[in-house]
Amino acid sequence: MLQTLRGTRGAVVAPHSLAAQAGLAVLREGGNAIEAMVAAASTVAVVYPHMNSIGGDNFWLIAEPGREPVAIMACGGAGAKATTALYRGLANIPPRGPLAANTVAGAISGWGAALEVSRRWGGKLPLRRILADAIGYGRDGAPVTMSQHQNTAAKLPDLKDVPGYAAQFLVDGHPPAVGSLFRQPTLAATLERLAAAGLDDFYRGEIGAANAAELSRIGSPVTAADLEAHRAVETSPLSVALRCGTVYNVPFPTQGLASLLILGIFDRLGCAASDDFAFVHGLVEATKQAFLVRDRIVTDPAYTTEEPASYLTGAALAAMAQRVDPLRAVPWPVAAPGGDTVWLGVVDGQGRAVSLIQSIYWEFGSGVVLQDTGVLWQNRGVSFSLSENALNALRPGRKPFHTLNPALARLADGRLMVYGTMGGEGQPQTQAALFARHILYRQELQAAVTAPRWLLGRTWGATSTNLKLESRFDPSVIDALRRAGHDVEVVAPFAEIMGHAGAIVRNPSGALEGAADPRGDGIVAAY
């Protein structure tokens, strides 16, 4: 049994151990939670390359004592040449290759915007120090994980001919061996340039020019002007009031609303215990109600006609809770988006906290690796529709729908919690399961993360839309769910499709608790 790890002066959780340790090193050197997070986020983008890259997007929740949390939305819009005419003759946007690399990568702008907040806190660590671990692992190599090896092998047929992919991710035409050192010297040089010139260089400097030139050469619709125009946005998060406190998440174009709706609906169902039929059924049915709202209204905020906060009122949540039959499942599925990502959390000794999610969408994103910068570009724009009348229709400059959503909670008893997971549609569900188990039913934090999970709908690496449950559930619960009308599939214990979750809780005393997912390669690093 894994134990909840504890500390007092700072804690970092990440889906790769080297990223967590990079963040902790920054905390030990006097850095704050944001500086530690940029260190961890840059490192994970190097050492977990199938899951992440600096060519993706990210979303932030940042909290400090005595102030309302802030959100940073670092997601890029579709390129100027990303029109339906470009994809004429295609039913959907291709998931791989240059036409999939159709949105600006916002992650670096998110680091920059967050470091601006850090400076308001008095943060002074130089960028070169913050990026040092990421640069070192890119230049000198990081050991290949089983996850990287297996995903490289599984996706090779789709990616081997994509520009730049084979040169970056294969060794003599084959997936790199587990434990071998995986080097990315060109990416390391790009990070060194950013450390010297500033993060803005990724969009409006030497690196930006190189990115734009290569994207143009291979046929991506993203232009130099698109990169130059991009900025991360600092805004207010969405929130929902529960009996136990307030939970925060990020606004449109993410599915953060769905994560809050699930908890708001479930809080009104009155389930007596965790992990029995009523618990799993209640959360699954709350998920369905939340996803129906999400799929109807979540889009680029510039195009929305709905106010998301109106769905988070007590009356709206009560109405949705009334639609949950305690004994029968609502027919499912509906259309589902896919996704891939990493979540990271940091809390420093002053109680400042960061919940971050960073993504390239699918494993390896578009597969496109820019030869002069070593940047693997995301395929987030695959979530656009080529139908002119769709909710998320493709338009130049438009932001795509995001599964990404980091979570943060301030509890009535004085605790603060950052938590999240990767995993497409699984993100809101795993967030709800983790939060409910630990906060509502008082399971130890690590036990709440380790406990068997379920997934309704699709996640990264899966196309089916049924209800998947890990085999560690009590057979009586599985049987009861089937009798209630759920289309149940039992999967392996600790299945990677259930995501890589994590959490940190700060108690009023200042004591910290952290938990990392045994399904991933991460740890909690604390002191």
3-state helix, strand, coil in the chain (%, to 5): 35, 20, 45
60/97 same-domain check: yes
296/439 same-domain check: yes
393 in a domain, yes or no? no
**Tally of domains within the chain:** 2
Q: CB-based contacts of 438: which residues, under 8 Å, 6+ apart?
A: 417, 444, 445, 448, 503, 505
DSSP class of residue 398?
A: P
Q: What is the pLDDT of residue 249?
A: 98
Q: What is the pLDDT of residue 341?
A: 80
470/493 same-domain check: yes
Burial of 8 (0-12, 13-18, 19+ CB in 10 A): middle
Give one DSSP letter per residue of 281-350, joined into a string.
HHHHHHHHHHHHHHHHH-S-TTT--S-GGGGGSHHHHHHHHHT--SS-PPP----------EEEEEEETT
188/73 same-domain check: yes
pTM to 2 decimal places: 0.96
Angle at 276 between CA 343 and CA 482, to 5 degrees: 95
Q: What is the pLDDT of residue 465?
A: 76
**Which residues on neighbouring strands pair with residue 469, listed in sequence order?**
454, 490
504/423 same-domain check: yes
Q: What is the pLDDT of residue 9?
A: 97
**Which tens digits make up the pLDDT trace of 149-187?**
999 999 999 999 999 999 999 999 999 999 999 999 999
145/255 same-domain check: no
CATH code for position 516: 1.10.246.130
Catalytic residue list contains 103: no
189 in a domain, yes or no? yes
**Which tens digits make up the pLDDT trace of 370-427?**
999 999 999 999 999 999 999 999 999 999 999 989 999 999 999 999 999 988 889 9
Q: What is the pLDDT of residue 457?
A: 83
Which is the catalytic residue, given 190, 341, 421, 459?
341
pLDDT < 70: residue spans in the chain: 1, 333-340, 458-464
Q: CB-based contacts of 161: which residues, under 8 Å, 6+ apart?
A: none
Structural domain including 212 reads 5-233+341-349+358-383
Pair of tokens at residue 339: 């996704």
506 in a domain, yes or no? yes
Pair of tokens at residue 412: 């009535």
300/258 same-domain check: yes
Q: What is the pLDDT of residue 338?
A: 46
392 in a domain, yes or no? no
Backbone phi and psi for residue 212, each to the nearest 5 degrees, phi listed first? -65, -40
193/121 same-domain check: yes
376/434 same-domain check: no
